[in-house]
Amino acid sequence: MTRRSQFEIYLDILKAVAEGKKKPTHIMYRANLSWTRLKKYLDFLISQGLLKEIVNETSTTFSLTQKGRDVIGYYRRIERVLYPKKRILPAEVYAQY
């Protein structure tokens, strides 16, 4: 197994949120990261305007911004050209991009 680049980790986090994982713990498990590393990457994605943090009285959740959806869309288009038979997201999520 090879190590992931930062770019791949950012995409894994964005894809996790696109799949409906909105709570930090769920994103952490889906992206296979430690809590410390997840926090670092979430802070970066928020600062770049790709994710939005929603803080309520009882919880914190994350959602994609339009810019974040655009990044996933660009990635999906490249992925479809390079790997035409590969499908990572469920069909209903995949069709959005």
Q: What are phi and psi of 37, to 5 degrees?
A: -65, -40
Query: In the prediction, which pLDDT does 40 show?
Result: 97
Query: In the prediction, which pLDDT does 97 show?
Result: 47
- Are the C-beta atoms of residues 60 and 54 closer than 8 Å to each other? yes
Query: In the prediction, which pLDDT does 2 show?
Result: 80
Instruction: List the structure tokens of 26.
Output: 């769920």
Architecture of the domain spanning 6-94: Orthogonal Bundle (1.10)
Query: In the prediction, which pLDDT does 62 show?
Result: 98
pTM comes to 0.83
Intervals of the chain under pLDDT 70 = 1, 87-97
So where are the chain's domains?
6-94
- Are the C-beta atoms of residues 91 and 97 closer than 8 Å to each other? no
- Radius of gyration, CA atoms only, the chain: 13
- Are the C-beta atoms of residues 35 and 28 closer than 8 Å to each other? yes
Rounded-to-integer distance, Cα 36 and Cα 2, Å: 21
DSSP for 58-89, please give it: S-EEEEE-HHHHHHHHHHHHHHHHH-TT---S
| pLDDT, tens digit, 9 for 90 and up, residues 35-63 | 999 999 999 999 999 999 999 999 999 99
